[in-house]
Amino acid sequence: MTRIPSPDTPPRPGLRSWTLGDYPWQAIPPVSGARYRVIIDNDFSGDPDDLFQLVHHLLSPNVDIRAVVASHLSPGDPFDPSPASAQNADAVARDVFARMGLASHEVIARGANDRLVDRQTPQASAAAAAIVAEAMRDADTPLLYLAGGGLTDLASALLIEPRIADRMTLVWIGGNEHDDLASPPPEAMPIEYNLLIDVTAAQVVFNDSTLPIWQVPRNMYRQCLVSEAELRLRVANQGALGRYLYDELAEVQRRAAGQGRGPGETYALGDSPLVLVSALQSLFEADSSSSLHVTMPTPELREDGSYAPRPDARPLRVFTWLDTRLMFEDMFLKLAEFVAWSERRHDGH
Question: Residue 240: exposed, middle, or buried by beta-carbon count in 10 A (0-12, 13-18, 19+)?
Answer: middle
Question: Of all residues in the chain, what percent carry a pLDDT higher than 70?
Answer: 96
Q: What is the pLDDT of residue 11?
A: 60
Class level of CATH domain 36-224+269-340: alpha beta
Q: For all residues of the chain together, what is the average pLDDT? A: 95
Average pLDDT rounded to a whole number, residues 233-247: 97
Q: What is the pLDDT of residue 199?
A: 98
pLDDT of 240 above 60: yes
**What are the tens digits of pLDDT across the range 28-46?**
988 888 999 999 999 999 9
pLDDT of 348 above 80: no
Of residues 6 and 210, more confidently modeled: 210
**What are the tens digits of pLDDT across the range 147-163?**
999 999 999 999 999 99
* Closest-CA residue to 122 (of 75, 191, 131): 131
CB-CB contact of 16 with 61 (8 Å): no
pLDDT of 257 above 60: yes
CA distance 52 to 72: 18
CA distance 107 to 103: 10
Domain ranges of the chain: 36-224+269-340, 226-268
Question: Residue 176: exposed, middle, or buried by beta-carbon count in 10 A (0-12, 13-18, 19+)?
Answer: buried
Q: What is the pLDDT of residue 347?
A: 44
**What are the tens digits of pLDDT across the range 79-124?**
999 999 999 999 999 999 999 999 999 999 999 999 999 999 999 9
